Amino acid sequence: MILEPMTAERFGPWNDQLVLSYAREKVESGSWLEDGAVARSCREQAELLPDGVDTDGHDLFVGTVDGVEVGVLWLFTDPDLTVPETYIYDIEVRADHRGRGLGRELLEAAEGWCADHSIGVLRLHVFAHNETAIGLYETSGFGTTSHTMAKTIR
């Protein structure tokens, strides 16, 4: 797996897809109402990446194998932290490339990037209903650092 910087041309389609998928995940998790979810997701994305691929602290990549794009990776390293750590905002293998271990390779590429930049901690968030991703992260050495729980009151 090779990480290549995401181009401005690739950013637009990726960002559009991410806005939709993040809104869907927030609705499925019960965090947001469906009405207005896409607009809210769009606003949050615009705040996080105001300068697109050139936003400070954010590193956006496409993962390639033999010159073919197989996934994307979005890393954020907060420059204000005294001990550097990086957060995975998005990691995704394209649907037509899933089931071949490429998610694990993309995760390992993120770890390699962190090691190359002297970053000792890699964090991520995963929605509780995404059992496949949870399994991947646990078998890759990630541990739970917090739980957010909710109860619907009727």
**Angle (nearest 5°) at CA 45 between 73 and 75:** 25
Q: What tokens appear for 17 in the block?
A: 């897809």
> What pLDDT is attached to residue 7?
97
Give the count of domains, the chain. 1
Q: What is the extent of the structural domain holding 43?
A: 2-139
CATH number, domain with residue 106:
3.40.630.30
How many alpha carbons lie under 13 Å from residue 19 in its C-beta half-sphere?
A: 20
Can you give the pLDDT of all 154 residues of the chain as single tens digits? Answer: 999 999 999 999 999 999 999 999 999 988 899 999 999 999 999 999 999 999 999 999 999 999 999 999 999 999 888 889 999 999 999 999 999 999 999 999 999 999 999 999 999 988 888 899 999 999 999 999 988 887 878 8
Residue 62, domain member (yes or no):
yes
